[in-house]
Amino acid sequence: MSNILIVGPAHPLRGGIATFNEQLAKSLQQAGHQVEILSFSLQYPDFLFPGTSQFTDEPAPSTLLISPKLNSIQPLNWLRVGNEYRKKSFDIVIFRFWLPFMAPCLGTFSRIMRWSQRNVTKFIAITDNVIPHEKRLGDKLLTRYFLSSCDGFIAMAKSVLNDIALFEPDKPKIYTPHPIYDNYGTPISREEALENLGLSPDFQYVLFFGLIRAYKGLDLLLEAFGEGELKKRKIKLIIAGEPYENMSKYEAIITKYQLENQIIRHTHFIPTEQVANYFCAADLVAQPYKTATQSGVSQIAYHFEKPILVTNVGGLAEIVSHQKVGYVVKPESVEIKNAILDFFDNQRDKEFAENIKLEKKRFSWETMIGKIFELADTL
């Protein structure tokens, strides 16, 4: 049994990274390890956070030890919490790194812990992004500061593995795909899901799910719906997720193509208990991203055995087998439109769903845990 510290967001913070950390902690506990999550008392200052709330109203996971102590912008806090935790004994410390903004806090905390645990503890980073989707001045300097404080790295996209090598070419690094999110309940029938959402069973549905940000290509998907062929079909687009940007450019496309009757807007944060309704109501999940690394949305779709349309950017093509479980297309509206038409015209839903049942087996939490210990053994 190992004593493991995960450093990153967790309850009451919400979002995909918090969900991942909690699922990882549960899986490690089920494998017999002792786990604590060190989370944030303050993750982002309110003026830097683009959404409505950083926090969830859902109950805390009853089986997890979560300590919300880190303040991302307070150096004295990093010193205090770092000194508190360096007195503890951990076999492995796992950092979640997704944004250069977090590098000073996490990099300083890591260095303080290493003062007393250099020869005992293995410091590993699971790196969602090394080069962020939305670049800012100083990103590389901050990223280098954090990465240099770690012993080894896990990436969930091969492109991220290559990015790590630009900063730390000699340190061990391993690729393993993002595990399936299986915490959103069991699938329900399409009919029940549609009824729960108040949607008509007379239409077919494409789902765009998750935070709405410029790099996720919602504009490309709307442009695809604006093409004549899709406008003639009984196909609707569900937009389900909280905007992290102004929606005016998307509304302009809807108006331009007169798509009002084809678009269903649920543009707010989708709580955990509602996620199953959206995926089970959908016939196809679309991720028309312009840039990407990995995506938790794909792994929710796998859990609910829903076909996926992704673009060939970042690591998305690594987890979706083209015309087996879905589509991998160029990030262009015409390509997206043609894939949607092929899916519905050729009734590929049952074929793809059967393939997903087999394909999803390679995205297990056991595999992720195995890679963590494989990496730790090399350090």
59-112 residue pLDDT tens: 888 899 999 999 999 999 999 999 999 989 899 999 999 999 999 999 999 999
Q: Is the pTM of this model over 0.85?
A: yes
pLDDT in the model for residue 116: 67
pLDDT in the model for residue 1: 86
Conformation bin of residue 71: beta by default, left when phi > 0, alpha when psi is -120 to 50: beta
Mean pLDDT of the chain: 93
pLDDT in the model for residue 132: 72
Question: What percent of the chain has pLDDT above 90?
Answer: 79
369: nearest Cα among 92, 150, 140:
92
306: nearest Cα among 258, 352, 341:
352
The Cα 124–Cα 336 span in angstroms is: 38
pLDDT in the model for residue 133: 65
pLDDT in the model for residue 140: 92
Q: Judge whether 233 and 226 are in contact, CB under 8 Å.
A: no
239: nearest Cα among 287, 193, 202:
287
Residue 239 amino acid letter: I
Strand order in the sheet with 308-311: 263-266, 235-240, 204-209, 284-287, 308-311, 326-329
Domains defined for the chain, CATH in brackets: 3-179+364-378 (3.40.50.2000), 190-362 (3.40.50.2000)
pLDDT in the model for residue 316: 87
- Which residues of the chain are modeled with pLDDT < 50? none
pLDDT in the model for residue 14: 86
Residue range 253-290, pLDDT digits in tens: 999 999 999 999 999 999 999 999 999 999 999 999 99
